[in-house]
Chain A
């Protein structure tokens, strides 16, 4: 279980709802695809991602940004059990979507930058920044937690198969 100080808890809950989640979600996802272009590998079905302008104007990108950001609602509502709350999502990202979990960290970085841009240095002060990054770190860790070889084991009747 994560130890949240009273100040951190209050900073995180206070932050939620200040910036518009849809707006931040879209902006963070656009930024991630532009700043870390290898993250585009998971979205070949999204259409034109060839330039920053194309990414910014792509409706599939906007929609997915909103979906991902609203996924954080679950973490906010379960601050004391993010690990278990996210277990099924983690399994999905590992076994169905096959997303490299380092990408979660990249999106978290972009989300922080977007929130800072939206709120400015006085509202998004150092303590709020710290609490928010700690929160995202916990989410990122929970999302990466169910990545293991369970699929392989089932396939080969219990023996590890080395490729």
Chain B
């Protein structure tokens, strides 16, 4: 399900609004994933505190969100853009790629919560497709 010109325009347009609350949205998305899908906590068993609001959770939510923000400018070349990150996830972190959709879903929920009037159904459709392609690009190096 590749991105049409309309999808790309939709993603860029909602992202200018997301960028004004990027830290909050990133933190919410990541911390919600850990609460709503507790199996994802298994990848962070070395952290002291996995609760929403903890320093490590906030920092990691920011890290992830910043990268997704950058992906918006690389919708034409997601696979090469995410190549080294894919390598990291595949060979070192070994996160089961089935988990990417849980973070994507929590990001959609966070965007809806913070930008209810802007996150219309057709924008939701485009962002959902975009995040699926990001996940696919991230899984590229797995096998």
Contact = CB atoms under 8 A, between A and B. Distances in A.
B24 to A, nearest CB: 8
A109 B32 CA distance: 14
Contact of A121 (B28, B35, B108, B125): B28
B124 A129 contact: no
Contacts of B120: 52
B108 A52 contact: no
A126 interface: yes
Interface stretch (A41-49, A71-79, A112-120): A112-120
Interface in A13-28: none
B124 A35 contact: yes
Interface string B102-138: 0001001110111010011110110010000000000
B100 to A, nearest CB: 15
Contacts of A127: 35
Nearest to B34: A126
Contacts of A109: 105, 108
Given A113-B108, A133-B36, A121 B121 contact: no
A104 interface: no
Q: Is the interface of B mostly helix, strand, loop or mixed?
A: helix
Nearest to B127: A35
Contacts of B119: 113, 117
Contact of B109 (A34, A35, A52, A113): A113
B35 A117 contact: no
A31 interface: yes
A125 B108 CA distance: 14
B97 interface: no
A124 interface: yes
Contacts of B24: 121
Contacts of A119: 113
A92 interface: no
Nearest to B28: A121
A31 B121 contact: yes
A34 B10 CA distance: 14
Interface string B32-48: 10011000000000000
Contact of B113 (A31, A35, A124, A133): A124
Nearest to B106: A129
A52 B31 CA distance: 32
A140 interface: no
Nearest to A120: B113
Contacts of B105: 109
Closest 3 A-B residue pairs measured CB to CB? A117-B116, A34-B121, A117-B112
10 contacts: A35-B121, A35-B128, A109-B108, A113-B124, A117-B113, A120-B116, A121-B24, A126-B35, A129-B32, A129-B36
